[in-house]
Copies of this chain bind each other. A is one copy, B any other.
Amino acid sequence: MNEVDIKQLKFDKTTGLIPAIAQDYRSKKVLMLAYMNEESLMKTIETGYAHYWSRSRKKLWMKGETSGNTQRVKEILIDCDKDAILLLVDQKGPACHTGHETCFYNELKTDSKFEADRNR
């Protein structure tokens, strides 16, 4: 496994953000996609708990700070382009604010051709 320094990360030039995928380290389910700025990534490293930047509330938040559904970070992986983060986490309770285990609980409506084809 290669090692990457935080200074090598490519935060978006306009927003200062980088997308971060949270994946359950046991079930391997993809839990959510959120955004980090450098401060939230530093907080994540310092505390061992996932911190993100809320684009709607324009503030730093620790995942689970109000719900208690925290994410203890087990591993922080970076992609080849250094512009995306993958967190392997120990998720406490449901990850989604709707109460679903993962935020990805919707299926995209597609036509029947796709349904048939993809099972070939």
Q: Would you give the shortest CB distance from A24 to chain B, in whole angstroms?
A: 10
- What separation, in Å, do the CA atoms of A108 and B88 have in the docked complex? 12
- What separation, in Å, do the CA atoms of A104 and B79 have in the docked complex? 4
Instruction: Tell me the number of copies of this protein.
Output: 2
Q: Would you give the shortest CB distance from A38 to chain B, in whole angstroms?
A: 12
Given A1-B106, A32-B79, A85-B108, 17 further pairs, Cβ under 8 A: A4-B109, A5-B108, A19-B19, A23-B30, A30-B86, A33-B79, A33-B84, A45-B111, A74-B118, A75-B118, A76-B107, A76-B108, A78-B107, A79-B106, A80-B105, A84-B104, A86-B104
**Also in contact, A1 and B105, with CB within 8 A (given A32-B79, A80-B98):** yes
